[in-house]
Amino acid sequence: MAGIGVLLWVMATDVVQYRPLVIATSAIYLVGGPAFYFIDAIAGLPRWWCLMDSVSCLLAGGVLLALCLLSSRNVPS
């Protein structure tokens, strides 16, 4: 997870240039949320763990995508 944080930090230095990577990262988080829930449930982890794992992943992807879309409105063409 620290590696993803470093990549996000680098992408944040120039969001316009790295926009495709930001969108891909948010999509990975959004797809990962349900996948983490499924894996955690099969592994027999407590329900609160499954929910916290998947919801935090979905929130991270959703916030990242929303901020990226909002910033694209403010960029002059």
44 dihedral zone (left: phi>0; alpha: psi -120 to 50; beta): left
CA–CA distance, 5 with 25 (Å, rounded to integer) = 11
Confidence at residue 74, expressed as pLDDT on a 0 to 100 scale? 66
How much is the pTM? Answer: 0.80
> Rg of the chain's alpha carbons, rounded to an integer?
15
**Domains in the chain: how many in total?**
1
Confidence at residue 75, expressed as pLDDT on a 0 to 100 scale? 60
Confidence category of residue 69, pLDDT binned at 50, 70, 90: confident
Residue-range definition of the domain harbouring residue 58? 2-73
Q: For residue range 19-65, list pLDDT tens digits in order.
A: 899 899 999 999 999 999 999 999 999 999 999 999 999 999 999 88
* Backbone CA torsion sign across 44, 1, 18, 15: positive
pLDDT at 4 exceeding the cut of 70: yes
CA–CA distance, 49 with 69 (Å, rounded to integer) = 30
